[in-house]
Structure 1
């Protein structure tokens, strides 16, 4: 059977990778250079590169070209069927989480744990200038507090402008909050009550589990694909069985897997929410840090009945210190507004004005473009280091955004025991048990890839890999 030119080129480049002419992490020649060198059209070269992507040999990095991928085994699918749906259960991770966070903050640690944006990528000097300009222009904002007006109009206008790519939310739906976390907490209180069951991704961000625990609610873990997010089939089973009163998902660059829910899944989910009259709280904080050329849309874009409450902030790309978030609350806007007033009062209108100024013009777009490019490269560097230092049996995620990496280790490795050993060597990470309501993922860990690569980080990954090798050599306990 005759092969096409693009297949021949893909096979040739694949052979070079196998022979390590191009090693993991190496950049391939540019599309234009390959086209000229091989006397092929640009479209043929692109077809070849896409075929190699499908084969798992290379990966595209935004505005940087194509790179040879690490050799680690990628996370397998965790697709759902009826038997995989467990009973809803109360969450109990807070005491363990507090212990791990305290240990991670000990002096001298290499910080691969908490997923904070790296300082040197944040526009701190520009924010300083904006704070000074707003203080000079509107000094009254430094003294203004209102019991009723929670929103600074200029900030709401910027939220509306930033939503134009996916829709036109009603300004009356917008409630400004003191962080994205507060927005999610208010939404949970607005749509559910103690004892209700919240559907979550599995794995999911531990702070979301904390919120559910603090409100006396139960969690139902939905099996989650490491590239496409929660199984809509499994969620529909839960809806049909009447198990779920609300959902809480991070569909764009989920933390910790980094997956992005496909648009067709978002459409289907929005339709199911309306059909079953179930609200969804959508944590959209990482959407601007997704690596694709086009930003993915939120599920809110497909919501025509007000069942989606979209929560976000600009803390990951501008400044975490501002403590300003917001929610587009759909049909629950009135309830969220009231809860906000009685819980914490108005969010700082001064910092709302500062963010509004920063978001005006092109500064924000330039900032997120710079961050996406840097974070994609840092994730690839960390992936290569993990692949080189950890046992071959380990699997790693392929984040499509954000700045964390999920590693699945052999079954006999206990992430909490590993954490204790790593902390003793000055290495902080987050054990997998913290990302599950039921204590799953005991052989997994999450690494923060946001920090710039350094000898200290490189050494920490090598030493952590050695610990995993040692733990992997211990025979797995026999089933009773």
Structure 2
């Protein structure tokens, strides 16, 4: 049977993908390079690439070329019917502390905590800036202020980066010690013990920790794996007067990695204004989204000051600097007072260091590098999970960040998996930690921030074998970590 030239090229490249010469997340050679290398016309190469797209082997990325797709197991979407659970007090702190302690033991393969490795972070450049700032203004190493929280140049850089969203008031900025502190201050500013906070389900366990530590209740809002929390459910909760505050991660939710569509963000901003309900928006992954353009936060659509945007540069620049911030809207004064009495000013020295890093093109270059690397690492991890885990397992398709959310057969207890994985030298985060009501007992979150290596590959294979074993054992008793 006669095979056209473009079909032959598609088959040849498909064979290289099957043999992992080109791994999931890898970029294929350019169209011009393939045409020159194979002595084919550009149109023939483009026909071959379109055929490979139709076969689901590759995907085109705007202005970036063609990339190898990973194997996919789509997660189930939530029902169209909007149902709300009863608000519940959170009780994960004790369990979480035991899991985190176990996961941070030496020589364990770190698939649990959501951090990129040092080799992705700009440590050498940061060292030079630290030394330069220390030489130029050594007084900042010894000075301290309980009142003046913001270093003016750092605040200016935050406003500069937010220009695309519209004009922001400099008086909204409160610099904090991490994004976590920013969220905690915002919760304290707008809610009191016993109040109910609407959160995503599943939701990052630190957010649940904060709600628990402040004696508040959580109302879990169902989340679509692609488009984020149900705005219909949020509207229903607000209409019923069930919530005093909302706490969401609209851009690259942790653990799903989904991004709320712009229309949903705009609608949410209107709901907040009409019901006079504040939103605490965790945007720490906003700069690490894989979309062609950086997605706007809900803050961009806020015209009444109800949105409090919290973020930091810990994920992309320096976790150790411990510098975050909040654009606190109408609650800025309350947040500033709470910051002053809680911990005083965040280090002006490290604010100055980060301001210098943000001034030129270094930060944008760093983001391009990280997005490219993390996208590839997620693809490799997803492909390895599909190869090693039972067929019934599902894997999220993150649009940003560096974690994946894995659904396992119902009889698999994620806490027991964590326990056995720890004994085998692998760290993971059991799904029960991502829910106020103890849901997701058969889910696990895995970190993709590690550079791909035989050790990471073996760790995923070990987890897959353990999931197979637990699935075969049937429904186990729910275990403690």
TM > 0.5 fold call: yes
Residue 447 (structure 2) aligns with: 448
Query: Aligned Cα RMSD in Å?
Result: 2.6
Cα deviation 1:143-202 (Å, max 9, x = unaligned) = 111121111101000001111121221000000001100000000000111111111111
Match of 1:6 in 2: none
Structure 1 453/397 Cα, relative in aligned 2: closer, same or farther at 3 Å?
same
The aligned runs of 1:320-469 (5 Å cut-off) are 320-469=319-468
Give runs of aligned pairs for residues 88-167 of structure 1, distance below 5 A: 88-167=87-166
User: How does 1:6-45 map onto structure 2 within 5 Å?
Assistant: 22-23=17-18, 25=24, 30-31=30-31, 37=41, 39=43
Distance 1:186 1:56, change over 3 A: farther
CA distance in 1 between partners of 2:28 and 2:349 (Å)? 48
Deviations for 1:327-358, whole angstroms, at most 9, x for unmatched residues? Answer: 00000000000000111111111111111111
Question: CA–CA distance in 2 between the matches of 1:368 and 1:257?
Answer: 20
Q: Is the 8 A contact 2:228 2:250 kept in 1?
A: yes
Change in 2 beyond 3 A, CA 1:314/1:50: farther
Distance in 2, Cα, partners of 1:45 & 1:334: 60
Contact 1:80 1:233 in 2 (8 A): no
CA distance change for structure 1 residues 27 and 130 in 2, over 3 Å: closer, same or farther?
closer
Offset of residue 51 of structure 1:
7.2
Question: Residues of 2 paired with 1:178 and 1:50: CA distance?
Answer: 48
Matched residues in 2 for 1:50 and 1:126: separation? 41
Deviations 1:73-102 (A, max 9, x none): 1112124523x3101100000000001011
Seen in structure 2, the aligned counterparts of structure 1 residues 28 and 146 have a Cα distance that, compared at 3 Å, is closer
- 2:268 maps to 269
For structure 1, which runs of at least 5 residues remain unmatched after alignment? Answer: 1-8
Contact 1:80 1:234 in 2 (8 A): no
TM-score using structure 1 length: 0.91
* 2:81 alignment partner in structure 1: 81
CA deviation vs aligned residue, 1:271-319 (integer Å, no higher than 9, x gap): 1111111100000111111111210001000000000000001111110
* Superposition deviation, residue 457 in structure 1: 0.7
* Residue 232 of structure 1: aligned partner: 231
- Distance in 1 between residues matched to 2:343 and 2:80, nearest whole Å: 40
Shift of 1:451: 0.8
The answer to whether the 8 A contact 1:175-1:337 is kept is: yes
8 Å contact from structure 1 (residues 259, 401) kept in 2: yes
Q: 1:149 to 1:45 in 2, by over 3 A?
A: farther
Q: Secondary structure at the match of 1:326?
A: strand
CA drift of 1:18 comes to 13
Partner residue in 2 for 1:5: none
TM-score, scaled relative to structure 2: 0.91
Partners of 1:287 and 1:207 in 2: CA distance: 18
State the Cα distance separating 1:66 from its structure 2 match. Answer: 2.8
Question: Distance between the aligned counterparts of 2:428 and 2:271, measured in 1?
Answer: 37
Gaps of 5+ in 2: none
* Offset at residue 61 of structure 1 (A): 5.8
Cα separation, 1, equivalents of 2:16 and 2:457: 24
In the alignment, is the contact (CA less than 8 A) between 1:193 and 1:217 conserved in 2?
yes
* 1:74 aligned counterpart, secondary structure: coil
Cα distance, 1:234–1:385 mapped onto 2, change above 3 Å:
same
Q: Distance in 2 between matches of 1:72 and 1:474?
A: 26
Contact 1:284 1:312 in 2 (8 A): yes
Alignment length, in residue pairs? 464
Do the aligned partners of 1:16 and 1:22 also contact (CA within 8 Å) in 2? Answer: no
Change (3 A) 1:189 1:56: farther
Quote how far apart the aligned CAs of 1:57 are.
5.2
CA distance in 1, matches of 2:330, 2:435: 30
Distance 1:228 1:340 in 2: 33
Whether 1:309 aligns to 2:313 is: no
SS where residue 67 of structure 2 aligns?
strand
